[in-house]
């Protein structure tokens, strides 16, 4: 590793921290020139470190990287620098905590990654960090698992490829099912819930993914998948704060309205073409128009169908 006496801001050739500083304070680039002056600078640095080994560049540079990565105009450059550090193997167990603060700062504006201008940089940096999770502490590894969904899966949701969209949505659905339902009867069989201490953080991540998915609800190919996601979230709405629950209810109303409209359009289309109704449609119409009567022994009957027929009617309505 190069000594900080020579350059405390060179990160694998990806960029120079001094270049970033130039955008704010150009005067900081003024450096002494000539071998004699460089030697004097090296001697000063040696005194500052007590003649010992050079300081860790990542630990020293992390605060500046974290400050710059929050800027939209500098994000891509800083992300490239951070990615280069990971690829070069310069992030170690010793400096990983400092490097992690850079990753955290990059997500202070989490919806920035939805902008196609930043998606590639976000994917490269956070995929590289997630693939090296063992470098980080146990608590940081838990955060990286959430970032897998928040960053990588959410970016996959921003597509016009229905296969990719459905694949990403499936990952969101699977994690949704780890949150408890509002009514136990709605729980899928054999489900394992997240520990209570982790649910709040995961709920926030899932909400961001739901919001990203619903941005595609305007497309016919995305609507059925969005409907499924929002239904799963509504069944678990108690896991979100009041403001988020209100948004979930709005999304649910949108999905229901669009579903009713699609059904009506389908019926109108069948009426125009004179197509015969399917067996299911005939059965649905039968139960919808049947009367409920009480038999001698207190059993319910629906047009002679008994209790099972009545239950079927309720399911269809």
Q: Three-state DSSP class for 60?
A: helix
CB proximity list for 56: less than 8 A, separation 6 or greater = 94, 95, 98
Give the Cβ contact number of residue 27 at 10 Å: 7
- Where are the domains positioned within the chain? 173-267
Q: Please state whether the predicted TM-score (pTM) of the whole model is above 0.75.
A: no
Q: Three-state DSSP class for 27?
A: helix
Query: How far is the CA of 180 from the CAs of 12, 176, 195, in angstroms?
Result: 46, 9, 10
Give the Cβ contact number of residue 56 at 10 Å: 16
Give the Cα separation of 106 and 100 in Å (integer).
Answer: 10
Give the CA angle between residues 173, 177, 179 to the nearest 5°: 125
pLDDT, mean of residues 200-223: 96
Residue whose structure tokens are 């955060």: 143
pLDDT, the chain, mean: 81
User: Do the Cβ atoms of 209 and 190 come closer than 8 Å?
Assistant: no
pLDDT tens track for 50-93? 555 678 999 999 999 999 999 999 999 999 999 999 999 999 99
Q: How confident is the model at residue 295 (pLDDT cuts 50, 70, 90)?
A: very low
CB proximity list for 184: less than 8 A, separation 6 or greater = none
Give the Cα separation of 294 and 86 in Å (integer).
Answer: 73
Q: Three-state DSSP class for 292?
A: strand
pLDDT, mean of residues 115-142: 98
pLDDT score recorded for residue 276: 67
Q: Would the pLDDT of 46 be above 70?
A: no
Give the Cα separation of 256 and 234 in Å (integer).
Answer: 12
Give the Cα separation of 271 and 82 in Å (integer).
Answer: 61
pLDDT score recorded for residue 303: 46
The torsion defined by the Cα of 93, 101, 12 and 144, in degrees rounded to 10, comes to 70
Q: Would the pLDDT of 146 be above 50?
A: yes
Q: How confident is the model at residue 316 (pLDDT cuts 50, 70, 90)?
A: very low
pLDDT tens track for 170-196? 999 999 999 999 999 999 889 999 999
Give the Cα separation of 208 and 214 in Å (integer).
Answer: 10
pLDDT score recorded for residue 89: 96
Give the Cα separation of 186 and 203 in Å (integer).
Answer: 18
CB proximity list for 290: less than 8 A, separation 6 or greater = 302, 303, 305, 309, 313
Q: Which of 36-50, 131-145, 173-187, 236-250 has the lowest mean pLDDT?
A: 36-50
What secondary structure, in 3-state letters, does 249-284 show? Answer: HHHHHHHHHHHHHHHHHHHHHHHHHCCCCCHHHHHH
Tokens at 193, concatenated: 């819930």
Q: What is the largest CA-CA distance in the chain?
A: 110
Q: For the chain, report the end-to-end CA distance as a whole number of angstroms.
A: 70
Q: Which of 81-85, 103-107, 111-115, 285-289 has the lowest mean pLDDT?
A: 285-289
């Amino acid at each position: 590793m190069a000594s900080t006496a020579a350059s405390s801001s060179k990160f694998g050739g990806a960029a120079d921290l001094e270049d970033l500083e130039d955008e704010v304070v150009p005067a900081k680039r003024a450096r002494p020139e000539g071998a004699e002056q460089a030697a004097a600078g090296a001697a000063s640095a040696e005194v500052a470190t007590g003649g010992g080994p050079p300081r860790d560049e990542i630990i020293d540079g992390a605060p500046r990287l974290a400050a710059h990565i929050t800027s939209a105009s500098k994000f891509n450059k800083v992300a490239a620098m951070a990615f280069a550090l990971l690829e070069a193997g310069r992030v170690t167990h010793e400096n990983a905590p400092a490097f992690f603060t850079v990753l955290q700062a990059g997500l202070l504006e989490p919806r920035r990654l939805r902008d196609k201008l930043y998606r590639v940089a976000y994917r490269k940096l956070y995929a590289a960090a997630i693939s090296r999770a063992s470098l980080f502490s146990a608590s940081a590894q838990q955060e990286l698992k959430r970032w897998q969904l928040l960053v990588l899966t959410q970016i996959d949701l921003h597509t016009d490829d229905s296969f990719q969209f459905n694949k990403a949505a499936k990952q969101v659905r699977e994690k949704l099912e780890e949150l408890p339902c509002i009514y136990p009867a709605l729980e899928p069989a054999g489900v394992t819930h997240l520990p209570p201490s982790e649910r709040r953080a995961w709920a926030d991540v899932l909400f961001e993914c739901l919001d990203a998915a619903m941005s595609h609800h305007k497309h016919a190919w995305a609507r059925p998948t969005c409907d499924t996601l929002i239904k799963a979230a509504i069944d678990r709405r108690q896991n979100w704060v009041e403001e988020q629950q209100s948004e979930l209810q709005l999304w649910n109303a949108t999905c229901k309205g669009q579903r009713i409209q699609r059904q009506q359009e389908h019926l109108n289309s069948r009426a125009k073409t004179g197509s015969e109704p399917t067996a299911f449609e005939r059965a649905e119409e039968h139960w919808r128009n049947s009367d409920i009567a009480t038999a001698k022994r207190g059993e319910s009957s629906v047009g002679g169908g008994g209790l099972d027929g009545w239950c079927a009617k309720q399911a269809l309505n």
